[in-house]
Amino acid sequence: MSQPFPYDEKSLLIRVSKGDETAFGILFHTYHNKLGSYILKLTESFPLTEEIVQDVFLSIWQHRATLEDINRFEPYLFVIARNRAFNCLKQMARERMRQEEWANQFRDERDVEEYIEGQDGYETPCRNGYETLIDQAISQLPPQQKKVYQLHNQQNMGYPDIAMQLGLSATTVKKHMSLAVRKIRDYVSSHMDPVSILFLCCLSLVWG
């Protein structure tokens, strides 16, 4: 059962709305632990909980002028905190998904690169045709994707260096690289005859 609020809450909120830091301190110390326990159940993270609690009270102070119209502060406070917690958790989930996508993309890129590198020195008409198809696919890439692909694969530049040279973010560079690899793979697959594809698969088993 909730403990009775030791102050006239409405008067306290009016004082805070007018910039009374002492009144705000009373609000903070009254609800800090209670709010923290609630947020911890949602996040299961002490650092994230403390960050959210501080962020919520900072927001309360920044928008203190609206407190004069609040009749019940505790439900108001907890709704704000719950929304902040859910937003943080959603953002963390999206970030994990992006990291997994980048990891999968990196593995796909390395598969293509390692296969091509593994065939160096083994020249056949089929291999020459395969390289020709790759060159054709690269030539048809959009300009930015083409630059990123060539800098990464032909000049062995890492994503941060490419981003700096082209004035792009590392995220954008990774996206361009992923699209380029996908387009090259699709182009080569669509222009090779089944026998050549089978032959290249055999080469990967013998020379991989």
7-19 pLDDT, tens digit per residue, is 688 899 999 999 9
Q: Is the pLDDT score of 195 beyond 90?
A: no
pTM: 0.44
pLDDT of 47? 81
Q: Please state, as a whole number, how many other Cβ atoms lie within 10 Å of the Cβ of residue 30.
A: 18
More confident residue, 33 or 101: 33
**Tokens, residue 63:** 């928008």
Q: Using CA atoms, how far apart are residues 151 and 125, in angstroms rounded to an integer?
A: 27
Cα→Cα distances 52→6, 22, 49, 82, Å:
25, 22, 5, 9
Cα→Cα distances 94→86, 99, 151, Å:
12, 9, 29
Q: Give the residue-averaged pLDDT of 79-95.
A: 83
Q: Give the residue-averaged pLDDT of 119-144.
A: 66
What is the chain's alpha carbon radius of gyration, rounded to the nearest angstrom? 29
Query: Where do the domains of the chain lie, and which CATH numbers do they carry?
Result: 9-94 (1.10.1740.10), 119-207 (1.10.10.10)
Q: Using CA atoms, how far apart are residues 201 and 191, in angstroms rounded to an integer?
A: 16
Cα→Cα distances 184→5, 109, 170, 179, 191, Å:
67, 11, 21, 9, 11
Q: Is the pLDDT score of 5 beyond 60?
A: no
Q: Give the residue-averaged pLDDT of 136-152.
A: 87
